[in-house]
Amino acid sequence: MAQMWITMGPQHPMTHGLWTLRVKVDGETVVDTEAELGYIHRGVEKIAESRDFTQITPYCDRLCYVSAMTWANSYIYAAEDLLEVEVPERAEYIRLISAECQRLASHLMWLGAYGPDIGSLTLMTWCMRDREMFLDLLQELGGSRMHYNYPRIGGVKRDIPVGFADRLVAKVKLFERRIEEYEMMLDESTIWLVRLQGVGYANAEDMVNAGVSGPNIRAAGVNYDARWAHPYSVYDQVDWEPAVEKPTSVKGADCYDRYRVRMEEMRQSCRMILDAIEKIPGGKNTNYSNGDEMILAKAPTRAPEGATGFSNYECTRGASKFYIKGGGDGRGKNPYRLSIRSPMFITIPYVAKTMIGYKVADIPAIMGSFDPCIGETDR
């Protein structure tokens, strides 16, 4: 049969956003692929060059609405590297808790979107129900459901409200039981196993060489995680261990391993939150006023020319990184250049190539298992 090119996207349920996957097929088999990105390129890097350091945080929230808190934190750590700021420990604990709540919400969004890809519509409704619990918690902190603008250079915007700790613990404990429900539903579903197992193999060394990171690497059997390897925040003081999965083939991790590792990550996030809220310095039911030195350190507003800062961060989809050069407009109030590394920008072209050799029907299963997000890809 003659080979032909099929265009999947930019509006296609598989894409989880706006991008185009061009697939060359020979009958039902994929023989070549090409990814086309850039449909929602907003020029955040250019906009940032004319904004103060504090004004950039909301733009970073909007890089990915599914994990706004982790992206804002990611920028903040790089800005603190540039401006040489010491952060109070209580603020680091609050950042950890908020980032892990966001990780839970983001993985739930992934699972909820991945379920319908595979044919399980129930999953969408269940995940959205549980995600709402964590969005409510984040709303208590940031004041908004999705774009929080919560972390500040030197700390956080405001302290955790009184009673937040109790609601957090109750919801996380409830959710720990819900994870078991998800696993009972999915791991015993024949359709789920048949569609995921033995599909979309990706090798650990190949992935690292190609720039893939985060849960996708840990699914391939190595517990490499920026949270301990390039440490920030107080992850060394709370109780957790990096999620890792045992791949079943010499070819690496399949879609099922990547699903399993994200479920395990959600468990670890729960464990981390429950431990951190008990250990938080200053007490979990204390509410310090805005700008108190317990939650916000003083930070300079200008960076001199020649100063640079960058920081690794374990975002929900992999390792993100910001690189900032100081000394821009406004006598150093703006960055001269701000560069964003998005984990998915590197991953999507790699995933497109891993599909070669599989059937057309496997494309949604493979693509969804890597958790694509186009907001951060196109920036």
Partner 1 sequence: MGMRVSNEQSDSAAESCVAILTKRFGGSEVTSTVEHHSNAFKMAFVRVQCPPQHWPAVAKSLRFDHGANYCSMVTGTHFPDGGDDRGWEVVYHLMRQPVVDQKPFTSTVLVASKLTGSDIPLEFEIIVTLPQGDEPSVPSVQKVWVGADWNEKETWDLVGIRFEGHENMHRVLNPHDSPEGFHPLQKQHKLRYHDYNEMYDDAQGFGRKPTDEGRVK
What residues numbered 230-259 form the site for partner 1, per CB under 8 A?
230-233, 235-241, 244-250, 252
Least separation in angstroms between CB 50 and partner 1: 5
Q: Is 120 in the site for partner 1 (CB under 8 A)?
A: no
Q: Does 297 bind partner 1 (CB under 8 A)?
A: no
Residues 26-65 that bind partner 1 (CB under 8 A): 37-38, 41, 43, 45-47, 49-51, 55
Question: Rounded to the nearest whole angstrom, what is the least distance from the CB of residue 341 to partner 1 in the complex?
Answer: 4
CA end-to-end distance (rounded Å), the chain? 40
Residue among 108 and 199 whose Cβ is closer to partner 1: 199
CB of 257 to partner 1, least distance (A): 10
CB 374 within 8 A of CB 19: yes
Between CA 352 and CA 15 the distance in angstroms is: 11
In the complex, least distance from residue 92 CB atom to partner 1, rounded to whole angstroms: 8
- Residue 182 is a binding residue for partner 1 (CB under 8 A): no
DSSP state of 265: H
Q: How many residues bind partner 1 (CB under 8 A)?
A: 77
Among 135, 315, 304, 141, which residue's Cα sits nearest to residue 225? 315
Which residues are 25's β-sheet partners? Answer: 4, 30
- In the bound state with partner 1, the residue whose beta carbon lies nearer, of 309 and 364, is 309
Least separation in angstroms between residue 42's CB and partner 1 is 10
Looking up tokens 């999507």 gives: 348
Total number of residues shown for the chain = 379
Return the SS3 of 367. Answer: helix
Q: Among residue numbers 318 through 337, which ones bind partner 1 (CB under 8 A)?
A: 319, 321, 323, 325, 336-337
Q: CA 310 → CA 30, 46, 73, 81, 314, distances in Å?
A: 39, 18, 13, 6, 13
Residue identified by tokens 């990105």 is: 37
Q: Which is nearer to partner 1, 142 or 252 (CB)?
A: 252
| CA pair distance 379, 300, nearest whole angstrom | 27
What is the spatial distance between Cα 275 and Cα 236, in angstroms, rounded to a whole number? 12
| Window 203-232: contact mask with partner 1 (x via CB under 8 A) | xxxxxxxxxxx---x--xxxxx---xxxxx
User: Closest CB to partner 1 among 135 and 344?
Assistant: 344
- The site map against partner 1 for 58-97 (x = CB under 8 A) is -------------------xx-xxxxxx-x----------
Query: In the window 335-354, what residues touch partner 1 (CB under 8 A)?
Result: 336-337, 339, 341, 345-346, 349-350
CA angle, 119 then 122 then 126, to 5°:
135
Cβ nearer to partner 1, comparing 176 with 206: 206
The span from the CA of 260 to the CA of 81, in Å, is: 35
